[in-house]
Structure 1
């Protein structure tokens, strides 16, 4: 069997590797499984927990604990039924969203000045840096960022690969005296920013970054960015290759953006502070 087929049932890179290893090797301890699959030991328990929730892996109550795959015929049937229920639920939400959009359009509540920006098929770091900086250059006071749980390490290779560029861009904003508020769901952004901040030798620069940048942790599915409470950026997810972004929708409409700013402020109060140093 081609391991890549496991991506079609919704498993991310780490989950595919761990599950494939268990299918081939049989019952294993977590440490041995980490070694064989080359998934970091710091991630292996989280991955196994997720696979267990999917019904693909079961835990043998032994000392130490061992993990094994559930009979595929049973596991896949249960997984299919769960996915079917989720799909029906998502279709219901989609229909409700369509109805809400039509309501807002009919009441004149749709946003003005909407622009869609599509990413190139392939980005090198310089091109991505130039694009991100062009987004950020007009910010005057504040940027509010929400990164959803779908961007946890290993879930989106595209997002993981871009984090060093975004980290530097956020830090540059803080050094300019722009308030940077990031609400993060334990994405790769956190260690990336922390690594850069701790490497800063000039204490005045480090102090300025800490003054203008604040990060809080909150598990959320929300995914948007706000510039100066005036401009809203919404991610366009690739529905063929989920976890990959096709581009951004940019909305310049203060009244429309205020709704998202109110949502951000509500989420912000629920977040737990993340220490940069």
Structure 2
């Protein structure tokens, strides 16, 4: 395909236009003879070029056709192609939106699942190792299933949580009022050697328990399908979009929380 063909001229249109550049003003018959475009097609081709403002006519008898300046023709052809491509882009965008709406909203996030009931040895070990990965911050909410559970499993997991915390890590805990009502007041008393800073705030209600480590990984408790006082496990996610969303949610909840009375 020629360059003019790339810009949208048919082979006949290109032949006629190039012929007119050489001949100057010419009748349709002259253009047909000089270009080799059949007489049965010459008027269709000339009229097409005229409608696109690539040639113009002189008011004489017989009508003569004149080619527009090449720079003008190239600009007009480029404008046509640009408009066509914009229309194609809009069409493909609509198709993509339609396809997207019929598929899953996002791909599954990178992560893993730790199976383990509340206070179990495997969950204590997993929780301690998880907290140990923190290098500067741990943000955590404490709500269900701890609200309905005996305080002993909660104590075991709180101990495992802080056993894993490094001395230079800052820990921020959001605890629901219902949790505080069902556990000893000393449950969240934390020795100074466990973390550089431990802040605790209270909210009337926390819908789900989760944590965010160093703003790079989050874990979310999976409620047990049959027992409100237990969990079936914890899902750990390191997809940055998911982690950022949970960190944002934590900060909003934190702003609403009230500091735990000393």
- TM-score with structure 1 length normalisation? 0.49
Alignment match, 1:237: 223
Give deviations 1:161-203, integer Å, cap 9, x for gaps. 2222333234345551111111100315673434x44xx5xxx
Matched-pair contact (CA < 8 Å) for 1:173–1:179 = no
Q: Does 1:258 align with 2:244?
A: yes
Structure with greater proportional helix content: 1
Matched-pair contact (CA < 8 Å) for 2:210–2:221 = yes
Give deviations 1:24-67, integer Å, cap 9, x for gaps. xxxxxxxxxxxxxxxxxxxxxxxxxxxxxxxxxxxxxxxxxxxx
- Cα distance between partner residues in 2 of 1:237 and 1:222: 9
Change (3 A) 1:191 1:128: farther
- Cα distance between partner residues in 2 of 1:183 and 1:229: 16
Matched-pair contact (CA < 8 Å) for 1:233–1:248 = yes
- Cα distance between partner residues in 1 of 2:158 and 2:167: 14
Q: Does 1:167 align with 2:162?
A: no
Alignment match, 1:213: 198
Per the TM alignment, residue 265 of structure 1 is displaced from its structure 2 partner at its CA by 0.4
Q: 5+ residue gaps in structure 1?
A: 1-101
Alignment match, 1:143: 138
Alignment match, 2:44: none
Per the TM alignment, residue 272 of structure 1 is displaced from its structure 2 partner at its CA by 0.2
Of 185, 190, 208, the residue aligned with 1:191 is: 185
Give deviations 1:54-98, integer Å, cap 9, x for gaps. xxxxxxxxxxxxxxxxxxxxxxxxxxxxxxxxxxxxxxxxxxxxx
Tell me the secondary structure at the aligned position of residue 262 of structure 1. helix
Change (3 A) 1:267 1:105: farther
Give deviations 1:108-127, integer Å, cap 9, x for gaps. x4453121111169835xx4
- Cα distance between partner residues in 2 of 1:265 and 1:104: 33
Alignment match, 2:255: 269
Q: Does 1:130 align with 2:125?
A: yes
Q: When the two structures are aligned, how many residues end up with a matched partner?
A: 159
- Cα distance between partner residues in 1 of 2:260 and 2:230: 26
Change (3 A) 1:178 1:266: same
Alignment match, 2:94: none
Of 202, 210, 218, the residue aligned with 1:224 is: 210
- Cα distance between partner residues in 2 of 1:104 and 1:168: 46
Q: Does 1:156 align with 2:149?
A: yes
Moved over 6 A (4+): none
- Cα distance between partner residues in 1 of 2:209 and 2:116: 17
Change (3 A) 1:118 1:129: closer
Q: 5+ residue gaps in structure 2?
A: 1-99
Structure having the higher Rg: 2
